[in-house]
Amino acid sequence: MHPTIRTIVLAAGFGTLVSTSGCVNTPAPKTDKPEKTDCSAELLSGRYLASGSLIDAPASQDSSSAYMQGYFIFDAAGQVEVVRGLSSSNGNNIGWEGKGNYSINADCSGEMSLSAKVGGGIDIKMNFNLLVRKAGTSTVIESIFVVHPGKTSGRLTLHQASR
């Protein structure tokens, strides 16, 4: 039997990872023809490996990017934890871990909030708007997360093996 793979896509953005002070929520992207999905916290519970990148691109300066990875653990009670997170930019590695909560509505929209410690213990807050949809046999969550509009954005992809 082949394991089922679930894919969750989260876009995430930080100002400068070590000096972020605020966040702005943006609506989740819309899909053309989403398939019907029965949405619940049970659908998302499990461990996910995240990888992706962040782009810091102010209009008047050159852009820079950072690679991100880590494990997201979702439980059926609506709690989420990030363990062994790592951001890497220009050869510098910055560790991060966080905890928070998430909710999924019957219409497959939802929210996730994380409080994380970055680098030497600097606190940041991240808020996501979520949209759950089916893509073949996989469940996909798309999210937009922006800290500084027009400046910082990114995308994380989380994969879950069968339970």
Query: Do the domain assignments include residue 89?
Result: yes
Strands 122-135 and 64-74: unpaired
Q: What is the rounded average pLDDT for all residues in the chain?
A: 67
Query: Do the domain assignments include residue 97?
Result: yes
Task: State the total domains in the chain.
Answer: 1
Query: Do the domain assignments include residue 24?
Result: no
Which residue range(s) make up the domain with 119?
40-47+66-151
- Beta partners for 8? 158
- Beta partners for 142? 131
Q: What is the pLDDT of residue 49?
A: 76
Residue found under tokens 């910055």: 94
Query: Do the domain assignments include residue 141?
Result: yes
Q: 125-147 pLDDT, tens per residue?
A: 777 777 777 666 666 666 666 55
Show the tokens assigned to 39: 């949405």
Query: Do the domain assignments include residue 81?
Result: yes
Q: 41-70 pLDDT, tens per residue?
A: 887 888 877 777 766 655 555 566 677 778
Query: Do the domain assignments include residue 31?
Result: no
Q: 5-47 pLDDT, tens per residue?
A: 333 333 343 333 333 333 444 455 555 544 555 788 887 888 8
Q: What is the pLDDT of residue 14?
A: 36
Query: Do the domain assignments include residue 59?
Result: no
Query: Do the domain assignments include residue 77?
Result: yes
